[in-house]
Structure 1
Amino acid sequence: MRGAFPLLAAFALAACGSEPATNAPEPAPVETAIPVEPDGGIGDGAGPPDRLDTALANRIPTRFHGVWDHVEGSCDAASDLRMEISGNEILFYESIGTVTGAAPDGDAVIVTLAMEGEGETWEQKTRLALVGEGESQRLETSDGDLPRTPDDYPSKRCPA
């Protein structure tokens, strides 16, 4: 019996560090869909990273984009009343305005521009408004710091 005791002790010590083997398979991971909140968030309560209107706050609305010139202008690049409007800037004859802000004003928009031209820099607010439809549609611009007034030099949309 004395010889069996060390063998039993060795067997017991070897068994201490191991877990019993099982043949049962591990359960498959359960996939759950990420919930979406009504405001577009992913379900963590934080909401979307930026609201769309906030992301677009410093952009000129698409309806104003394009090349415009005085109703009697030629739409030629050399026309001094020609302007090219994109989402983030307005190119004028001898200056450029980079959009730093845009705010709705009824059916118009007031755009704040960081202007640069002829060696000068300045800031200006310009109101953009569309009047009419189709071929007779005109772009009217006015001082964004003053109440809306009719434009003495309305612009037509130039062919693309």
Structure 2
Amino acid sequence: MADRLSRSMTWLLAGSILLGGCGSPEEAPREPDQAEIGNAPVSSEPKADDGASDAVSGEADSAMIPARYHGVWDFEGGTCERTSDLLMEISASEILFYESLGLVTATEPDGDDVIVTLDMEGEGETWTQQTRFSLVGEGDELRLHTSDGEQPKEADTYPSKRCAD
């Protein structure tokens, strides 16, 4: 877990350094107003809704994983412990896996599913992948199904359950 946190902090630091060079020295950083961000505050907390599609508006949201997928997920037979090989922590802009990190570069709705494009880094390698996320079931039986986002939808042989916070 410390390794994942370290990688995540490295990405955040690199992004801060890159963004720090933008603009002229006279320009002071400022927060965007509601009109600039589409009048819709973005939260990384899961919504308590019926699983309906999240609204996607504007270019800023095109690289965000919808809130209904956020949280910590583990294989339905797993323990939800941080050492689980199949554990993944999903937020709006990244997914932390057991030994890798995926930064979201794009999302595309596909019916009730979402296809997420990720820039991945792990075990000394980097790659890009597309992953389809589907939610199946309700309540305690809710499962996250993942599959190759570049292929037609297929059944997930390792569905994930949401872990308690």
Shared fold (TM-score greater than 0.5)? yes
- Of 127, 136, 143, the match for 2:141: 136
Over the residues paired in the alignment, what is the CA RMSD in angstroms? 1.1
Aligned 1:50-69 pairs, distance under 5 A: 52-69=57-74
Structure 1 distance, partners of 2:155, 2:161, is: 15
Structure 2 distance, partners of 1:79, 1:49, is: 40
2:64 counterpart letter in structure 1 = R
Aligned 1:10-159 pairs, distance under 5 A: 49=36, 52-159=57-164
Q: Secondary structure at the match of 2:62?
A: coil
Structure 2 distance, partners of 1:60, 1:157, is: 16
- The alpha carbon displacement at 1:50 in A equals 6.1
Q: Secondary structure at the match of 1:126?
A: strand
**Aligned-residue identity in percent:** 59
Structure 1 distance, partners of 2:158, 2:104, is: 22
2:144 counterpart letter in structure 1 = L
- The alpha carbon displacement at 1:53 in A equals 3.2
- The alpha carbon displacement at 1:145 in A equals 0.1
Structure 1 distance, partners of 2:87, 2:152, is: 24
Structure 1 unaligned segments of length 5 or more: list them: 1-47
- The alpha carbon displacement at 1:54 in A equals 1.9
Q: Deviations over 1:30-74 (max 9, x none)?
A: xxxxxxxxxxxxxxxxxx656533221100000000000000000
Q: Which has the larger radius of gyration?
A: 1
TM-score by length of 2: 0.66
Q: Deviations over 1:73-110 (max 9, x none)?
A: 00000000000000000000100000000010110100
TM-score by length of 1: 0.68
Structure 1 runs (4+) deviating above 6 angstroms are none
Structure 1 distance, partners of 2:161, 2:81, is: 13
1:150 counterpart letter in structure 2 = A
Say how many residue pairs are matched: 113
